Amino acid sequence: MTDAPEDGFPAEDGLQVDDSFHVFDTTLRDGAQREGISLTVADKLTIARHLDDFGVGFIEGGWPGANPRDTEFFQRAAAEIDFRHAQLVAFGATRKAGVRAEDDPQVAALVDSGAPVVTLVAKSHDRHVELALRTTLEENLAMVRDTVAHLRARGRRVFVDCEHFFDGYHANPGYATQVVRTAHEAGADVVVLCDTNGGMLPAQVQTVVAAVLAETGARLGIHAQDDTGCAVANTLAAVDAGATHVQCTANGYGERVGNSNLFPVVAALEIKYDRRVLPAGKLAEMTRISHAIAEVVNLTPSTHQPYVGVSAFAHKAGLHASAIKVDPDLYQHIDPERVGNTMRMLVSDMAGRASIELKGKELGIDLGGDRALVARVVERVKERELAGYTYEAADASFELLLRAEVEGRARRYYRVESWRAIVEDRPDGTHANEATVKLWAKGERIVATAEGNGPVNALDRALRVALERIYPKLAALKLTDYKVRILEGSLGTGSITRVLVSTSDEHGEWSTVGVAENVIAASWQALDDAYAYGLRRAGVEPQE
């Protein structure tokens, strides 16, 4: 064993040495049981690297022998990943009823996986033993005892997941506790109490964990599914009652609605409980790791996830902003930098003066304490939002509005004389889309026509044909997203259309908004802002 530094973790080259508390990740096993997730071996290897980099103590990689992918994962992980913090864990079940552990191919696959740690799922609810396993309560205890002993004799560290433990304890506390005692006495290092159906609430979990700990003296862990929306709270309640091993998944992925989310659990342990469970400096990488794993599983990261979501420290209400201006702690439970996230100000019709001042600061625009100017911007935002604009989703349109107020006029790169878009419907069912723009730039009147795969695309092309000679940097701007929403009319008006456009250049992406009764007119406004913003940020001067 290497000398443990103050945080209980070794230097770069060793495994976690602080064994007193386990952060056990099961993204690759329980997380993969989520509907919509389908991981390749390469995906699993990439996620394992991220988790090891983050510093979890254990990575449950899957069920070797259950499918060729998981079997291959264990072979390749051992050969290809130089784990710096985590130990690899193979998951499987206790031996079959009536079969010796040494004769059970499923148990052999766990040994063959080469993983130094094995988690065995065991029945602890009497009804499950009788109905699902179709065996006796005594045989189930023997299955637990034999399988743990078999794996211990082969040098494996063993954790036992007691499936349906809390429901089982409620139905038959004596039997559920006997399963824990049997696993412990057979040599399991940790006995994990599982809320498999996810129906528990924190107070129930806390009471049961405390009682089982007092009765058995076994080292206990917690595995909480999220069916009541309490998985994280249940995990922490178990820790409060003395559990020292938490099973979680990245971003809460898991069977049905999911599992206990690794990130808020780890953040709570580190920040709220002041317990070092990650290597030094790793908590600040949490947001990046969460998003990187979401990328691999091909799910959009949840914007509202605690700690790591992009909205986790985004402030919208004017009253909040006015207090944050004095001290961000007044409306934030932690400094977002501790988890690698950032504070953002949102501008909307709920903004007040302080929101605009803080947003200006975030954008690097000096408002010079000009109260009248700030009040004008607040009023303008409220008027425009009433008309259907949304600035919290269109950062670039807001910045153009703010700069126009500060500079006394909007900086425009061309003057529009007119535009039109035509959709031609043909008898064979096909369409042709054509647009013409007439505008003035650099003292010149320019008329350009283009076709496109839709009327907005045709307008975009015509605008580029007209302007690219004068503003060559337009060529680097790409439209990356286009969203349309029909808004209900108010005060007797008809319905109106809001268009949000995302545009990117080689340095990043921005969003702009347009609102009009007509979808093409709304799109034109959003495009107009998108190019004005893109040229401005590229340092191009208007040639009007």
Ligand X SMILES: CC(=O)SCCNC(=O)CCNC(=O)[C@H](O)C(C)(C)COP(=O)(O)OP(=O)(O)OC[C@H]1O[C@@H](n2cnc3c(N)ncnc32)[C@H](O)[C@@H]1OP(=O)(O)O
Residues forming contacts to ligand X in the complex (CB under 6 A) are: 63, 66-67, 93-94, 96, 121-123, 132-133, 163, 196, 255
- CB burial readout 447-478, b (16+ within 10 A) else e: ebbbebebbbbbbbbbbbbbbeebbeebeebe
Residue 353: enclosing H or E segment and its boundaries? helix 353-363
Residue 70 touching ligand CC(=O)C(=O)O (CB under 6 A): no
Q: Which of 85, 223, 282, 320 binds ligand CC(=O)C(=O)O (CB under 6 A)?
A: 223
Q: Please report how close the Cβ of residue 59 comes to ligand X at its closest, in angstroms.
A: 16
Residue among 194 and 266 whose Cβ is closer to ligand CC(=O)C(=O)O: 194
CA pair distance 460, 454, nearest whole angstrom: 10
CA distance 27 to 376: 50
**Closest distance between ligand X and the C-beta of residue 134, in Å?**
7
For ligand CC(=O)C(=O)O, give the closer residue by CB, 34 or 359: 34
Which neighbouring-strand residues pair with 123? 163
- The CA distances from residue 273 to 267, 270, 277, in Å, are 9, 6, 10
**Nearer to ligand CC(=O)C(=O)O by C-beta: 146 or 255?**
255
Phi, psi (rounded to 5 degrees) for 228: -100, 5
What's the 3-state SS for 218-255? CCEEEEEECCCCCHHHHHHHHHHCCCCEEEEEHHHCCC
| 161 touches ligand CC(=O)C(=O)O by CB under 6 A | yes
Helix axes 455-467, 519-537, angle to 10 degrees: 40
Nearer to ligand X, 125 or 320 (CB): 125
Select the binding partner of residue 288 from ligand X, ligand CC(=O)C(=O)O, none (C-beta < 5 to 8 A, by kind): none
CB of 123 to ligand X, least distance (A): 5
CB of 245 to ligand X, least distance (A): 17
Q: Is 125 in the site for ligand CC(=O)C(=O)O (CB under 6 A)?
A: no
- Report the residue number, 256 or 376, with the smaller CB distance to ligand X: 256
Count of CA atoms in the C-beta half-sphere (13 A) of 229: 1
- Minimum Å gap between C-beta 273 and ligand CC(=O)C(=O)O is 24
Residues 23-42: x/- map of binding to ligand CC(=O)C(=O)O (CB under 6 A)?
A: -------x------------
Residue 48 CB, nearest approach to ligand X (Å): 18
Cα 264 to the chain's mean position, in Å? 11
Helix (H, G, I), strand (E, B) or coil at 309: coil
By CB under 6 A, residue 163 contacts ligand CC(=O)C(=O)O: yes
What is the DSSP secondary-structure string of 436-486? EEEEEETTEEEEEEEEESSHHHHHHHHHHHHHTTT-GGGGG-EEEEEEEEE
Q: Which does 535 bind (CB under 5 to 8 A by kind): ligand X, ligand CC(=O)C(=O)O, none?
A: none
String marking each residue 190-209 x if it binds ligand CC(=O)C(=O)O according to CB under 6 A: ----x-x-------------
Amino acid letter for position 441? A
Binding site for ligand CC(=O)C(=O)O (CB under 6 A): 30, 121, 161, 163, 194, 196, 223, 225
